[in-house]
Amino acid sequence: MPMPLDEDSPRYSIPQKRTIRVLNLVCQLARCDDLAALVRAHRAVQWLAKQDEDHATLANGRGFSKSDSVSGRNLAKWPTERVIVSSILGPMAVRLARKYRRQLPHEYLVDKPKQQSLKI
């Protein structure tokens, strides 16, 4: 018989600093750090939609690929406030932002690069 999980156990719980439970769930589903990462992800999708002028008819390395063009453009039309509280749209925005991270400006990156220490 499996043992019940203790809600206060540090092994089975992740402390969250957010007060809105929906945002905790969305961040866990999207595997991102915080609300700011969700907002950056949606802004990245909006930026990519503006770059995708040809709707992925040309392989020019700008914007979405053909398989993501329709869903990415539709996601960009949603207001940011709705995306960050949706358990479907939030993770979708994070997934697209991570997939196209090489095209994005630094301010739209979901996962901020960690500075590596140099050993001399």
DSSP track, 26-39: HHHHHT-SSHHHHH
CA atoms within 13 A on the CB side of 107: 2
| Structure confidence at residue 61 (pLDDT) | 78
| Structure confidence at residue 45 (pLDDT) | 95
The token pair that represents 101 in the structure block: 């991270």
Q: What is the DSSP letter of 78?
A: S
- For the chain, what are the domain ranges? 35-104
Question: What is the pTM for the complete model shown?
Answer: 0.72
Higher pLDDT among residues 9 and 57, named by residue: 57
pLDDT greater than 60 at residue 6: no
| Structure confidence at residue 41 (pLDDT) | 93
Q: Do residues 89 and 75 touch, judged by C-beta distance below 8 A? A: yes
